[in-house]
Structure 1
Amino acid sequence: MAEHPLVPRQIERTVRERLAAFRVVVLHGARQTGKTTLARLFGDDGSYVSLDDQAQRNASVEDPRSFIEIRSRPVIIDEVQRGGDALVREIKIAVDADPAPGAFLLTGSANFLTVPHLSESLAGRASFVDLGPLSETERERTDGLLAELLSGNAHRGRTGGAVESTRLEDRILAGRQIADHTPREYAVRVARGGYPALTDMSERLRSIWFDDYIRAVVARDVRELTGARKIDDLPRLLEAAAARTASELVVEDLRRDLGFGSRDTTADYLAHLRMLYLVRTLPGWAASAVTRARRRPKIYLADTGLAASLLSLGSEELLDPAERMRGPLLETFVVNELAKQSSFSDEPVALSHFRSTDGRREIDVIAEAADGRVFGFEVKAGRSVNSRHYRNLAWMRDTIGAEFALGIVLYTGDISYRLADRIVALPISALWSR
């Protein structure tokens, strides 16, 4: 297999910016997302060490102070969680003694702030950056729809908000011609997912890769990081999560269906999967104008390729309108893409979902900008859009008023057009292409 060219990661600019301002930057994300490759870009003037190397790991555990002191800055430590709490405390001591920015770049395949055996958080000293699998914007070398939305005029309050939103609506539609992406291309992207190693791999080989990946993560990382011994049920839980991707998270339902002993055990196992960036949750959204909202989160597999493999679905199956998981996996694909774009966005944005307490009104994704603007997204697997598909967006627009900047129905058709005031239909490919 020919070597695939290195895809530039958009988070690189964020990491460089944070290193110039913070003493420590922690880059964390799932295994095989490209953290090591990215971290090595910063090692020309410093020192790089991986704690996946047993000898280096032993040295970091046995004498963490010397391990830190002998290295030139910046010190890049790959898989830092394997060095344990003592190593992190020595890093804290070192940066307190010399507060110059950019001293340490730490990477980890687990969420640094949730690893059970790490009690030191480096609060006030570190900035945390998430690196997910490849985004479609990175594959296509574009900025992405979220950046385009957030780059609009800042929210101007109730007087001018609707006017600014209308201008945004026009700008989003301007210049967008008929998209050239087909349902088959979407199915291929969903089934492939974003792990860099799988870019040119066949579906059969991807399935083998994912089987080995899950086995390695469960056998090594979960046992090592949590001390858990009974972890054989974790792959079953991950498969159950894949079957429920894009649905509300009800821990008791998972416990009952899997036959786990207690709700606490099930919740702990889910926490392990989140810690390793295998699943993500989207919180429920509500605002002062929308008080009757459920706050239960939705659960998503953090990569659609992983989800499809767990469910034994390839691109051909995902083309079938009768396939039950076609819609949920497409929604998961969109949520993951928006989450990746938000991770390297210049403007802070919070992602959530909305469901009313009576269950009658749902909106797949809410993106809320720091200035108060709200963007609503609905994801549809069909090739056409009708009024049923955007009625909840229209309801939210009318309910919250000027804060509602734009509602977007993303679908597998090929035309971008206006549906109603501040509501547009866009092909899913608009997430990453003009």
Structure 2
Amino acid sequence: MEDAAYRARAMDRTLDSFLRSFSAIAIEGAKGVGKTATARQRAATEFKLDEPEALAIVEADRARVLEAQPPVLVDEWQRHPPIWDAIRNADDRGAAPGSYLLTGSADPRDAPAHTGAGRIVRLRMRPLSLAERLDASPTVSLAALLDGDLPPLDGETDVDLERYTEEILRGGFPGLRRYEGPAHRAQITSYLDLIVEKDFPQLGQQVRNPEALRRWMAAYAAATSTTASFEKIRRATSSNEGDESARSTVIPYRDALRRLYVLDPVPAWRPAAGSLTELGDAEKHQLVDPALAARLVRATKGRLLDGASSGPSIPRDGTQLGALFESLVTLSVRVYAAAAEAAEREVRHLRTHRGDHEVDLIVEREDGDVLLIEVKLKAVPGDQDVAHLNWLAERLGDRAIDRVIVTTGRAAYRRPDGVAVVPAALLGP
């Protein structure tokens, strides 16, 4: 699933900085997002533990890894968890900066004896963001918005609603982007099948009913960009009364998919001070790439553009295309926030218990100040579309760095009320 030619990533600069400072860096994320290709650009020696011969060698003699020419790449390290502790111990013995790169597409059940905190630095890699996919250069920097100086906005794009829909369906897995039409759909379907047939067993998770797992994944995909309860998702696995997946079955499904980095929910945000009350705690559901969600519900370009929904029935505000567009923007913002050194775990959302106020994305700086982002599937936002941004900004005061609404429009500008209007294609790191 890797491109023949390396595609530059937003995280490259952060990774290179870490290599100059730390002896070991772990790059984590779902299969196919480009971890190995990125690590290979920097490695002198490679051990691919998803290959039986390489795994057998490392199991028999871990010293080969420690004594190889650095930087040493250990690909799919979770196939042999003891290598984590071996590399941590090498750091204790004074390994030079940039000695080891570990890539992993799952959290192993047999966790290392030591987390690696303070020794092995973790970096999360996600699929390609919009800025990493498109030929045009973005004109609005998330890092500049986070600086809080209310930068002037400019730039125009010819990316329209149809192109955004195509990008949702095409996805951000680098190695799959060369395929078109039925071949691309077959590749996405194969990716999902491998999760059920291969990745779950490798985690030690027995799948007694593969079709039930596929139905649950489709129901979760239908809940994209919502805070639907897991009970509603479970019940949506079947339209036949009594046929939905049992609770005791779906909880292990959910946990395993998180360990595989396939589920990528957005946690709820709560301010450090108690200035806001009645805030919900529910996560907003997201898969690691909206292309997976679209394929699971069998969405097509035509149906999405017509405003139709596919797959299990899950209540949502707006159209399925709007939910998938928000998922694409969420993926991109997380990538840009990590590159801007705004910890990706702090990209969150806000929704009150009654649902009368919500803000799609909140990017928190290390000092606790926040950038507020709303996502709308429209070209020209109106006053109602920015009402929640303004409501929250009024309550946060100086803690609100800026207000941004990401759209499908053509030009970036500021509204008279100061809200930044940014087409998704113009937003970048």
TM range (shorter): 0.7 to 0.9
Compared with structure 1, are the counterparts of its residues 98 and 244 closer, same or farther at alpha carbon in structure 2 (3 Å cutoff)? same
What is the one-letter code of the residue matched to 1:317? R
| Residues 119-148 of structure 1, C-alpha deviations (whole Å, 9 max, x = no match) | 332222110011111122223474763123
Give the C-alpha shift of residue 50 in structure 1: 0.3
Pair 1:275 & 2:259 matched? yes
Aligned partner of 1:297 in structure 2 is 283
Pair 1:77 & 2:77 matched? no
What is the one-letter code of the residue matched to 2:68? R
What is the one-letter code of the residue matched to 2:178? D
Give the C-alpha shift of residue 385 in structure 1: 1.7
Give the C-alpha shift of residue 223 in structure 1: 1.0
Aligned partner of 1:261 in structure 2 is 246
Cα distance between partner residues in 2 of 1:115 and 1:125: 19
| Percent identical | 28
What is the one-letter code of the residue matched to 1:119? P
Cα distance between partner residues in 2 of 1:216 and 1:178: 40
Aligned partner of 1:33 in structure 2 is 33
Pair 1:133 & 2:127 matched? yes
| Residues 95-134 of structure 1, C-alpha deviations (whole Å, 9 max, x = no match) | 3223432221101112xxx421123322221100111111
Aligned partner of 1:395 in structure 2 is 391
Checking the alignment, whether the CA contact within 8 Å between 1:27 and 1:35 is kept in structure 2 is yes
| Residues 13-57 of structure 1, C-alpha deviations (whole Å, 9 max, x = no match) | 22221122222110111111111211111123xx21101110111
Aligned partner of 1:342 in structure 2 is 337
Cα distance between partner residues in 2 of 1:227 and 1:321: 38
SS state at 1:210 partner: helix
Match for residue 110 of structure 2 among 103, 117, 120: 117
TM-score (norm 2): 0.88
What is the one-letter code of the residue matched to 1:367? V
Cα distance between partner residues in 1 of 2:380 and 2:419: 15
Aligned residue runs from structure 1 range 28-427, under 5 A: 28-44=28-44, 47-61=45-59, 63-84=60-81, 86-110=82-106, 114-120=107-113, 121-140=115-134, 142=137, 145-150=141-146, 152-153=147-148, 164=149, 168=150, 171-173=151-153, 176-230=154-208, 232=210, 233-258=212-237, 259-262=244-247, 264-287=248-271, 288=273, 289-323=275-309, 324-348=319-343, 350-427=346-423
Pair 1:8 & 2:2 matched? no
Aligned residues: 405
Unaligned runs of 5+ in 2: 238-243, 310-318
SS state at 2:111 partner: coil
Cα distance between partner residues in 2 of 1:60 and 1:78: 12
Deviates more, 1:327-336 or 1:16-25: 16-25
Give the C-alpha shift of residue 299 in structure 1: 0.8
Cα distance between partner residues in 2 of 1:190 and 1:4: 23
Cα distance between partner residues in 1 of 2:418 and 2:276: 19
Cα distance between partner residues in 1 of 2:416 and 2:203: 51
Q: CA RMSD in A?
A: 2.2
SS state at 2:374 partner: strand
Compared with structure 1, are the counterparts of its residues 4 and 126 closer, same or farther at alpha carbon in structure 2 (3 Å cutoff)? closer
What is the one-letter code of the residue matched to 2:276? V
SS state at 1:279 partner: coil
Give the C-alpha shift of residue 328 in structure 1: 0.4
